[in-house]
Structure formats: structure tokens, C-alpha cells
Structure 1
Amino acid sequence: MEQIRTYFEQSVTMSDRDWQLFSSKLERQKFSRKDHLITAGKKENYLSFIEKGSVRFYIAGEDDFTFSFSFAGEFVSAYDSFLTQKNCSYYIQALEETVLWRISYQDLNIIYDETEVGDRIGRLAGEGLYLDIFKREISLLTKTAEERYLALFSERPHILKYIPLKYIASYIGITPQALSRIRRKIS
């Protein structure tokens, strides 16, 4: 739980009172590898902080389309569903044993109303989620598949330990066979 306070205090100072109220609303939850945090057709009710583990965001189909990852020390949520309180159109799945600290939509709104820094906390979490998505979108539009692959591993070198190559290929917008060719070329 202290990881969350450290994360926020990089940008905002929280009083002990605000932290006590915020932390009292957090629930710790464990997910096993391949468990879903949320499935398509369900409403996202949580904004979560990953204490340990990693997750992928994907759209199910003949070949699942992985479009995002989140790792320890980051927030995770089907944030569009969380904000609108409408059903989600994709899945979030644990890639390994994952431990989350979660706050519900209702409790986060209490934090917004009853603390001095509540709005800022929500904004910081939302901005982080938005920036990750925007960065990927720009990458897909401006970089080659090889550049996207290299950038992914320069930013997150530990990713190969946890994420199957088929998910990485999908994330960077190519087939697993094309990823194999890129990996052979740069080896």
C-alpha cells in the first residue's frame, strides 16, 4: 500500500488524514495467472494499482488483439468503462500472479469530495492511463514494427520474462511470424 502513497507523493503531498481516508477505502486482491480482472460486457467498478504482477488488455476474437499492458507500480482499469459506468468492450487479464490495491468508483468519489488532494489523485491516475494509450497510438502511426519492438524493450526490458511473444506481436501490430523475423534480424 505504501507504493501507492509514494507514487502520488512524487506529484502531490498528502496529509496523514487524507492518506488514512484514501487507504481505508483500498481493497487488496490477488489474481492468478490468466484470471480476468474484467471481461467484455461487464462494468468496470475499480481503479487499481498493481503492487505485483502484470496484465494485458485485449479484444477477443479468432486471434486475440492485445492493445496494452500494465505492470507493477502502475494503475490499471478499463478506464473508459470506469468513467462512464457503462459496460466494457474488452478484457483485462493477469499474465502472472498479480496483486492489486483497488478502490471502487463510489469510494473514489468520496475521496474526491472529502479530501484536499482527492481530485488531484484521480487526475494523476487518469492522466497516466491516458498517456500510455496515446503514446502507443502515436507509435503505431509513426514508427516501423522494428522500431516499436526496440522501443518497447528499451523502455521495459523485463517484458520478455512475463509476456508471450504472440501478445507482444499483437501489441506492436504485427503477426508472430513477422516478430520472429525482426528478432532474427536484430540478434
Structure 2
Amino acid sequence: MQQIRDYFKTLVDIGDEDWAIFSSKLLESTHPKKEVITQKGKVENYLYFITEGSVRYFIPKIENDLTFAFAFENQFISAYDSFLNRTPSTYQIETLAPTKLWRISHADLNDVYKQTKVGNTIGRLAAENLFLLKSEREQSFLNESAEERYLALFKKRPNVIKDIPLKYIASYIGVTPQALSRIRKRIT
């Protein structure tokens, strides 16, 4: 739990009293590789923080899933639209490696907002983090080629990307696995 407090300290001054209230609502969970954390068709009940591991966001398809985001250590994750609106999620979140998470429920987060001085700031920071994941993806499709998207992803997380199956990376950058192989051959 100290890792999440240390992360918050880099962003906001969180006093002991506020931390005690917030941390009392957090639950830790450990997940094996390839475990679905958020199921399509179910309402997202949690906002998560990754302390170890990685996940992918994807739309399950009969032939090939459509991967549209990755998240790594020290990032918030959630099917946030479902979390906010209390509607079924249209996508899934799955672990890519053994992953440790801290989670807070929708109801508990609302209690934190009411009971603490920094609760709203924590919620805003989580929302901003999730928005930036989405915005970064959209901007990359509008401004970059598939090769540039691949290079940016590799540059951002070189140690983690090597462990992500190429079919997920290909889906994320919007190409077939064969096209990704050609891109990789060109740049090596």
C-alpha cells in the first residue's frame, strides 16, 4: 500500500487523516496472466491502481480481439465510462502478466469524496489519467503512421512491450500481425 501512497504524494499533499480514510477503502488483489478483470456486458464497479504488471483493454471479437489500450505500473485502470454511468461495459480489461492491483468501489470512492479534503483531487487525477490514455490513442491514429505508433509504444515501455504478444500490439496500432512483422523488419 505504501507504493500507492508514494505515488499520490508525488501528485497531491495527502495528510494522514485523509490517507487513513482512503486506504481503509482499498482492497488489494493479485491476478494471474490472461485473467479478465472487467467483463464486457457487466457494470464496472471498481477503479483500480496497478502496482505491478500490465493490462490491455480490448473488444472481444469472434476472430480477432480489438486491443485499444495498454496500462502499466503506477496507472489507474477502469472501464471508466461504465464506472461513471453505471451501465454495462462494452469492452474488457485483461492482465498481460501477473498483476497486483489496489481497487476501490464506486460507493467507497463516493464516500472518500465526501469524507476527505483530497478525495475529489484523487478522483480528478484518476479521471485525468484515464482520459490521457484515451486521448493519446486517438491522437496517435490521427497524426502517426502505424510504424510511428509502434515506435512510440516501444519507446514508452521497452521492457514491458517485449512481453506483450505481437497480435495485441498489431491490433493496438491498427495493422495485421503480418504488417507488424514487416514494420519490425524495416526498423531493425
Q: What's the TM-score bracket when you normalise by the shorter of the two chains? A: over 0.9
Which residue number corresponds to residue 172 of structure 1?
Answer: 173
Once the 2 structures are TM-superposed, how far is the Cα of residue 27 of structure 1 from its aligned partner?
0.4
Within 1, Cα distance between the matches of 2:93 and 2:44? 10
Within 2, Cα distance between the matches of 1:66 and 1:24? 34
Which residue number corresponds to residue 46 of structure 1?
Answer: 46
* Counterpart residue identity of residue 144, structure 2: K
Counterpart secondary structure, 1:41: coil
* Counterpart residue identity of residue 176, structure 1: P
* Counterpart residue identity of residue 127, structure 2: G
Decide whether the 8 Å contact of 2:153 with 2:161 is kept in 1: no
Counterpart secondary structure, 2:178: helix
Deviates more, 1:150-159 or 1:98-107: 150-159
Which residue number corresponds to residue 110 of structure 2?
Answer: 109
Q: Following superposition of structure 1 onto structure 2, how do residues 12-161 of structure 1 map, counting pairs within 5 Å? A: 12-61=12-61, 62-161=63-162
Counterpart secondary structure, 1:9: helix
Within 1, Cα distance between the matches of 2:80 and 2:51? 18
Within 2, Cα distance between the matches of 1:99 and 1:109? 23
* Counterpart residue identity of residue 137, structure 1: E
Q: How many residues align?
A: 187
Deviation >4 Å, runs of 4+: none
Runs (5+) with no aligned partner, structure 2: none
Counterpart secondary structure, 1:162: coil
Once the 2 structures are TM-superposed, how far is the Cα of residue 159 of structure 1 from its aligned partner?
2.8
Once the 2 structures are TM-superposed, how far is the Cα of residue 96 of structure 1 from its aligned partner?
1.2
Partner deviation per Cα, 1:51-76 (whole Å, 9 max, x = no partner)? 11111110011210000011111111
Runs (5+) with no aligned partner, structure 1: none
The percent of aligned pairs where both chains have the same amino acid is 56
Decide whether the 8 Å contact of 2:26 with 2:104 is kept in 1: yes
Within 2, Cα distance between the matches of 1:25 and 1:160? 32
Within 2, Cα distance between the matches of 1:91 and 1:163? 17
Tell me the C-alpha RMSD between the 2 structures.
0.8
The TM-score normalised by the length of structure 1 is 0.98
